Structure formats: structure tokens, C-alpha cells
Chain A
Amino acid sequence: MLTYVLKRIGQTVLTAFLATATVFVLLRMAPGDPAANYAPPNPTSEQLAAIREEFGLDQSIPVQFVTFLQHLFQGDVGTSFFFKRPALEVVMERLPYTITLAVAAIVVTAAVAIPLGVWMARRADTAKDLGANIATIAGQSMPDFWIGFVLLILFAVQLGWFEPAGFTSASSIVLPTVTIAILQIALISRLVRREMVVNLASPYLTVARSRGISERALTWRYAFGNSAIPVVTALGTRFAAMLNGVVIVEVVFKWPGVGELVVNALKQRDFPLIQATVLVTVVLALVVQLLVDLLYPLMDPRVRLGEASS
């Protein structure tokens, strides 16, 4: 168990390092001079050179990388070009907003998708199942930024129920959450249905039914109990992906999270800020994955960690 966790933490560190290094190199290969974004209008070449020197961009890429690594081992990810503050600090300020949004979205998703999937599986291959099936396919077929705009047009502009953008009050979270949840509900409920159909048709369920166990217990305790692992895995993976990737929804709703931060940082070529964001979100996503994996033995006593993992 302990060796398993240590091994996974080692993998996490390695992956985070690789991701950050890839981003580091890609950023430096990109055309365009970051210094131009931070110089006064019509800068002289001396001014540009001075800014490049200040940012450490006058050195060769390998030298820059070694310096970056030295600082990284001291816990310093660099100073944001734009904010003139430690990049990690800026990211940490934005992180709670992204986490709040991701938690809200995953809770709504689980609360709707699991009952919906079970409902579809109990009515597998009926007209109702076909209808729900087509509805979920439609749910996963709409561009998320477009769902966001349509919700904004309807509920913020026409009806005026919510603030159109940003984080102004607690109700601001409703529309972004719904936007993310629509796609996730469609994906997760289909998975729940697929798992449940297999389990509802298994012999052990027939045996249990013959012993007079109620349909409700059969569905939830027996069939769903055995479907739980893939479903929780999928929810965990989705949650981890949201920590990296609610970029689009954050941009649509001008939600002050990490996604919005990084899109602006890309435009301004704020290298340290981009690197810090990638590092933080990748580590966070990997930690979530690890926690989900550690849940397995609790959900299914047959699972022994470390043995099955290659």
C-alpha cells in the first residue's frame, strides 16, 4: 500500500515535470517577442533588450531551462511578467474559483447522471430508453461555449435572472455549472446505463431475486454496487479534467478562474504564469486521480492496490 502510494507520487512528479518542460520549450519556440508586450509604445531596441534581460530571455534556451529548474527546486516558479508578482501566488489566488466551479459541476453531474443512467438501464431497449438515449447524444453534441451563450441570452439577457458575467454573487455560479454539467451528464449517464445493463442481466441478480430481495435493493445495492467502480473512475477523471480544462466556460462567463487566467497569459506571452498554471493544474489533476484510485479498495474489497497496477 505504502509502496504503491510512493510509486504513484513518483509518477506524478515525473509527469508534472515532463508537462512543464514541454510547455517551457514550446513557449520559447513560439514566434513573437514577449518583451514587446511589456515595453512602452514604440520602444527603442535598447528598451526591448533591457526588458529581455530583466525577464532572463536574453539567454539561450538551455541556460534558461537550467535556471528555471534551479529555481523550481527552491519552490520558485518565477515572477509573472504581467502582474510583477510571484506567478504561483497569482495562480493560487485564482485556483479557489476553478475548484468551486469544478466541484459544483461534478456534484450536479453525479446527482443527475446516476439516477438517469439507472432509469435508462431499468428500461433498457424500450421506447423511453431510446428517447433518453437520443437526448443524451444531443447533450454531448452541442459546443459548450454555445450552450453558455444560449443560457446567457435566455436567463441573463432576456429574463434577467442572473448576472451576465463574472463572479458577483453566489448565484453567478449557476449558469457556468449548468453549462459544464449538460455535457458531463450526457457522458456519465450513458456510462452508468452501460454498466448497469450488464449487471442487471447477470446471473447473481437472478439468484438474489429468487431469494425475494426487493427490486430496489437489487438495483441499488447489488447492480449499482458492482457498477460503482467504473462510474466513480469516470467521475474522478472528469473532475481532474475540469481542473485543467474548464477554460472555455470560464472565458464565456468571464469567471475569474485559472482557465481565464491562462488564456490571457497566452495572449500576453506571460511565460512564468503559463508554466505555473500548467504545473499547478497538472499536479492537482494527478492528485485527484490518485485519491480516486485509493478509493477502490473501499468500494470493492476484491481490489488490492499495487498488485493489479502495472
Chain B
Amino acid sequence: MTTSTNLPGRQQVPNLSEVPGSILGRDSAVTKVLLRRSAAARRARYSTIKIWVGAICAGVVVVPVALAQLLPLPDPIIGQLSESSLPPLSAGHLFGTDPNGRDLLSRVLHGGQTSLVIGVLAIFVSGLVGIVAGAAAGYFGGWVDTIVSRLLEAQMSLPLLLMLLLVVALFGPSIPVITLVIAFAQWPEPARITRALVLVEREKPYVAAARVLGLHRISIITRHLIPNILQQVLVVVLLLLAQAVLLESALSFLGAGVQRPYPTWGGIISDGRELFVTGKWWLVTIPGVVIALLVVGVNLVGDGLRDRVRRAKGEES
């Protein structure tokens, strides 16, 4: 009791022995301030900070990109040669213009639509394939598991970027091809985590109960197993969106992206790379900042959510 009197903020704490219904019968040495400073509370607060900072970063990019058609912007493809190579903050051109007189802000926003559509479609496909393959491998085991695991291993040892470049060269750089190529590169991650989670989950009593009730295996997986692991898997899939945007820009940079004149983020940077030597730094720097802002945002939100989900599931960080 003597130790607790020195603690800060003790005055605000109601004496638990006086609280009606208190079973403790003594006041606690744990004050609200101490609780707030505890590691668990700090972790919770930090994950909230990460989610908010991330949401703001991503929102600053996503909202203008989504509204690109509605904003009063110059055409992203047809430029005015009288206004070529203006630096940022010129009149009417916030981000400046390129040597063809095309407004960089407009190109970045319209290009972002292509990049984001490809990214979202790609994680949708890879998430779906990954969850189905991972759940089947984890639940059925046996030869299904062997096939899926071997495929995952085989893909690990292939020079992935080279394969992706090859496939784009083969089928042409259209949006569906690039989307599928990125999805192909990404399906192992959701598959691996789904498989690992299903392996744990299928040993739980409720699965045995469902089996005893005579439910079909497919409906056990889709109605009972997957809802219990979906939260953790979706966080991983969200983090893949960040990877997809980076991969798409890398492919565009290597010339295997959506073709000119339609802008994409990687393509804009790639076009600007011969020009920064002549002092036109903004053509490379600004699109990169926009990509980084979006990817940082998505990564922060995903990371914060992952901390939360882990805590809710009572795992160690």
C-alpha cells in the first residue's frame, strides 16, 4: 500500500474497495496512467497510428487518381509544344510538363488509374488462387498438398522477373496479360499462409464437429474454415497490392508495360530517364514520389492491421 501512494495520477483513480461490486477489496497499484504506458497499450496505439498515417498517405494518392476524369486537367496524351519542359509549380502545371508539353500531374493521375486497376485485379486473382490452392493443400493433404507444395518450391527457384518479361514478350503487353503475370508472381504468398493456417485450424474441435454432422468437405472448408482465417489472409493480400504496384512499374520500366502513349507510372519514369541528365529532374522524381507514397501507405495500413489481427488471435508478435 505504501508503494502505491507515490505513483503519479493516483488521485484520479477510484478506490476499488469503494466501487460497488468490487471483488478486490483493496486499491490496485495499477493506475490508469500505468495502464496507458504498458507495452500492450502502446502496441495498440502504435498500430492505430500506423493505420492512420498509412491511410492518409494512400488516400492522398488514390482519391485524386480515382477522380482524374472529373478534375480540370489537361489531356495526358496530347500536349502543347509551346509549353514544353516547364518546371513544377508553373502556371497551370503543378508538376510541370514533359518535353512534349504534356502536363505531368495529368499523366501521373491517369497513369495511376492503369497501375491501380492492374494492381487491384492482380491481387484479386492471386488472392483467390492462393486461398483455394492453400486451403485445398492444407485440408486434404496427401497428393494435393504434394502438388501445391512442389509448385510453390519450383516457382521459388525460377528467375521470376526474367520469366515475366518472357511471357509479356510472348502474349503482348496488354492489361489482362500484365495482370495475370503479376498474379502468377504473387500467388505463392497467400497460398503458403492459407495452407499454414488451415493446417492448424483443421485440428480444432469445431471442424471435427462439422465432420460428425456429416457436412461435405467443400462446405466445411468454405463455410467454416475459411471464415476463421480470412482476416489474416486478407491482410497478406492487401500487402500484395503494394508489391503489385511496384512490380507493374518495374515491368513498365523494362519496356514490358502498357504501351505508349498511354501513361503508366513506370513508363513515365522510364521516359524521363534520359532527360534527368539535362536537368529535368522532375520527370523522374515526382512519379516516383507518388508511387512511394501509395506503397508506403498500403504497407503501413497492412502492417498496422497485421499487428492488430495478431493481437486479436493472441499470437506473439
**A26 CA to B164 CA in the complex, in Å?**
11
Residues of A contacting B303 in the complex (Cβ-Cβ under 8 angstroms)? 133, 137
- B250 x A137 contact (CB < 8 A): no
**In the complex, which residue of chain B has the Cβ closest to the Cβ of A146?**
B288
**A146 CA to B273 CA in the complex, in Å?**
9
Residues of A contacting B42 in the complex (Cβ-Cβ under 8 angstroms)? 125-126
- B46 x A30 contact (CB < 8 A): no
- B288 x A153 contact (CB < 8 A): no
**A106 CA to B53 CA in the complex, in Å?**
31
Residues of B contacting A142 in the complex (Cβ-Cβ under 8 angstroms)? 288, 291-292, 295
- A146 x B291 contact (CB < 8 A): yes
Q: Cβ of B180 < 8 Å from any Cβ of A?
A: no
Whether A137 contacts B266 in the complex (CB less than 8 A), given A245-B160, A281-B159, comes out as no
How many residues of B are counted as interface, with CB atoms below 8 angstroms from the partner's CB atoms? 45
Residues of B contacting A2 in the complex (Cβ-Cβ under 8 angstroms)? none
> A141-191: which residues lie under 8 A (CB-CB) from chain B?
141-146, 149-150, 152-153, 157, 164
- A247 x B254 contact (CB < 8 A): yes
1/0 per residue, CB under 8 A from A, across B234-278: the answer is 000000001000100110011000000000001001000100110
How distant is B33 from chain A, measured CB to nearest CB, in Å? 17
How distant is A129 from chain B, measured CB to nearest CB, in Å? 8
- A149 x B288 contact (CB < 8 A): yes
Residues of A contacting B165 in the complex (Cβ-Cβ under 8 angstroms)? 263, 266
Q: Cβ of A37 < 8 Å from any Cβ of B?
A: no
How distant is A275 from chain B, measured CB to nearest CB, in Å? 11
- A134 x B316 contact (CB < 8 A): no
Residues of B contacting A145 in the complex (Cβ-Cβ under 8 angstroms)? 249-250, 253, 266, 269
**A198 CA to B315 CA in the complex, in Å?**
11
Q: Cβ of A29 < 8 Å from any Cβ of B?
A: yes
How distant is A177 from chain B, measured CB to nearest CB, in Å? 19
Interface of chain B: mostly helix, strand, loop or mixed: helix
Q: Cβ of A130 < 8 Å from any Cβ of B?
A: yes
How many residues of A are counted as interface, with CB atoms below 8 angstroms from the partner's CB atoms? 52
Residues of A contacting B163 in the complex (Cβ-Cβ under 8 angstroms)? 22-23, 26
Q: Cβ of A226 < 8 Å from any Cβ of B?
A: no
Whether A141 contacts B284 in the complex (CB less than 8 A), given A22-B158, A244-B162, A248-B254, comes out as no
Residues of A contacting B166 in the complex (Cβ-Cβ under 8 angstroms)? 23, 26-27, 30, 266
- A143 x B246 contact (CB < 8 A): yes
> B152-176: which residues lie under 8 A (CB-CB) from chain A?
154, 157-163, 165-167, 169-170
**A180 CA to B2 CA in the complex, in Å?**
57
How distant is A26 from chain B, measured CB to nearest CB, in Å? 5
Whether A125 contacts B162 in the complex (CB less than 8 A), given A15-B157, A251-B254, comes out as no
Q: Cβ of A114 < 8 Å from any Cβ of B?
A: no
**A244 CA to B158 CA in the complex, in Å?**
8
Whether A134 contacts B39 in the complex (CB less than 8 A), given A23-B166, A145-B269, A152-B276, comes out as no
Q: Which A residues lie at the B interface, using CB under 8 A? A: 15, 18-19, 22-23, 26-27, 29-32, 124-126, 130, 133-134, 137-138, 140-146, 149-150, 152-153, 157, 164, 194, 197-198, 201, 244-245, 247-248, 251-252, 262-263, 266, 274, 277-278, 281-282, 285-286
Other A-B contacts than A142-B288, A153-B285, 7 sampled, CB-CB below 8 A, are: A30-B166, A125-B42, A143-B291, A145-B266, A150-B285, A266-B165, A282-B157
Q: Which B residues lie at the A interface, using CB under 8 A? A: 39, 42-43, 46, 49-50, 53, 154, 157-163, 165-167, 169-170, 242, 246, 249-250, 253-254, 266, 269, 273, 276-277, 281, 284-285, 287-288, 291-292, 295-296, 299-300, 303, 316-317
